[in-house]
Amino acid sequence: MRTQVAIIGAGPAGLLLAWLLRRQGIAAVVLERRSREYCERRVRAGVLEQGTVDTLAEAGVGARLKAEGQVHHGIELRFGGAGHRIAFEELVPGRGITVYGQQEIVKDLIKANLEAGVDLRFEIDDVAIGDMADHPHLTFGGERLDCDFIAGCDGFHGVSRPAIPPGAIRVFEKTYPFAWLGILANVRPSTRELIYSASERGFALHSMRSDEVSRFYLQVPPQTRPEDWAEDEIWAELKARHETVPDFELNTQGEITSVDVAAMRSFVAEPMRHGRLLLAGDAAHIVPPTGAKGLNLAVADIRVLARSLTDYYRHGREDLLDRYSEICLRRVWRAQHFSWWMTSLLHTSDHATLYDRRLQRADLDYVVSSRAQATTLAENYVGLPFSADESG
C-alpha cells in the first residue's frame, strides 16, 4: 500500500489533518489503536478558543458546533469569599470561548472524513514506524504502508515520539504535586459561565457540556483513584469549595455518570520534526488543563502542518516544513507559561509556605483589580490570534 501522508491517531489532531489534506486533494490514511465507538465517547476537553472555532468553521466542519456549542464571554475567579468576573467582551472585544466537547468534534470529523472517502482504520494496535528519512513507512497487522510523510498525532503515550532516536529530541517537563478528579454529571449547570474556585481546601472548577450536563473538577492528591471517592463525598466537596460566596447553591440533583483522574504535567519535545516524521498535539506537548490549552494547541499545530504539506505538494516548497517546529513552538511555549501561571494562581500545595500563599493571594488580587492583568488573562484564555505563519 502507498499513500502520501500516513497519520497515526484518530483524535482531533489526526482527523482534522486528514480532513484538511483531503480538501486539498492530498491522500492520507489514518490508523487508530482504539475503536471508533471509544474515540467518539472519550470525554476530554470542552473549552474551545476563538481561533479553534474559526478554524473548524473555515474547514466546513463547524455546523453542529455553531448550532450546539455554548458561547461564553467571561469566566469567574472565586476566592476570598467573593466572585470576580473576567469580562472577555470588555477586555478582548469580539473574542470569546465556546464550550463543545472534544468527543463531539471527533464525531463531526469522523463523519466528514468517511463521507469524503478518507481511509480511516480503527483497532489497529500494532503500528510500528519504519524509516523516517529516505523511505518512510508504517507496518501493522503484517501489512506495510509506504508514504511521503508520517504525522504522529497519537498522543502522549503513542508510538510516534518514542520512535525518534535518543539524542535527536530534547524533552522539557514538569510534574505538579496534585491531580484533577474529573466528574461528569447529568445535572443542570449552576452557572452560565465557568467558575474557577480557589480555597484552602483546594481548587475546584465548575464547567458544563450542555444545558443538562455539568463537568466538574476537584484538585486531589496525584495518587488518587476514581474509586477512592463515593458519590456523596464528591458532592459534599464540590459544595464546600464552590459555595463560598453569598446566595450561591450548587445544583446536585442528578446522576454522576463518570469519574476519572487527570495527571497534571507540563511537557514539550523539541523539535517536533525528525526527518519525514512530524509530531502534532499531545505527541509533542502536554499542558496542565487549567488554561484549557491542550486541544487548542493541537488545532494550531494542524493548521501549520496542513499548510506546510499543501505547499510541498502544490509548489514543491519545503521551507514551511523546515520551519514547522519553530512556528508551532512559539505558541506552545506561550501556552505552557499561561497554563503554569493559571495552575500556580489557583491551586494549593502541601509544600507551599505561608509566604507562598500570601504571594498567591496577592497575585489573585492583582488580576481582579488591574485591567492590564485581567486583559493578559483574558487574551491568553480566549487564544492569541494566529500569526501570519500560522494562517493558511
Active site members? 72, 196, 289, 293, 381
Q: 214-220 and 170-186: which strand pairing?
A: antiparallel
Q: How many residues does the chain have?
A: 392
- The cell for 252 is 446536585
Peptide bond preceding 226: is omega within 30 degrees of 0, i.e. cis?
no
C-alpha separations of 350 from 201, 204, 225, 301, 359 in Å = 11, 16, 19, 36, 15
Helix axis angle, 354-369 to 371-382, nearest 10°: 90
Helix axis angle, 12-23 to 294-315, nearest 10°: 30
First-residue to last-residue Cα distance in the chain: 30
Q: How far apart are CA 135 and CA 128, in angstroms?
A: 14
Phi, psi for residue 179 in degrees, rounded to 5:
-135, 175
Q: How far apart are CA 344 and CA 149, in angstroms?
A: 39
Q: How far apart are CA 294 and CA 283, in angstroms?
A: 11
Q: Are 4 and 26 in contact (CB under 8 A)?
A: yes
Residue in the block written with cell 492528591: 221
Buried (b) or exposed (e) across 131-167, using 16+ Cβ within 10 A? ebeeebbbebeeeebebbbbbbbbbbebbbbebbeee
